[in-house]
């Protein structure tokens, strides 16, 4: 039995890679549902906090949380890390 040339091997490898990627993409299309964070009802937040933002104050090196409805400052972090789940203002 003759040994196939390198072009044939390369063609076979390319077909396998393309087929595998197609199968993964087809699986993703057929099973595209919203991701969830189970278990439900355990007291943790899913997604970002609404109607709030945070801004960095370079004078005291702290993050300040602000209400978007009336613009009032609500809270300030004691350490220099930002609030979790609250969007940052630019």
pLDDT digits (tens, 9 = 90+) for 65-80: 999 999 999 999 999 9
Give how far Cα 66 sits from Cα of 44, 57, 60, 70, 82, Å: 21, 12, 16, 9, 12
pLDDT digits (tens, 9 = 90+) for 37-50: 677 778 777 778 88
Please tell me the pTM assigned to this model: 0.51
């Amino acid at each position: 039995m003759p040994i196939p040339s390198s072009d044939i091997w390369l063609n076979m490898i390319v077909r396998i890679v393309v087929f595998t990627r197609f199968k993964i993409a087809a699986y993703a299309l057929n099973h595209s549902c919203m991701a969830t964070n189970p278990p439900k009802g355990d007291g943790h937040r899913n997604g970002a906090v609404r109607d709030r933002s945070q801004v960095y104050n370079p004078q005291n090196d702290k993050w300040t949380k602000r209400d978007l409805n009336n613009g009032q400052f609500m809270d300030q972090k004691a350490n220099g890390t930002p609030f979790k789940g609250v969007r940052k203002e630019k």
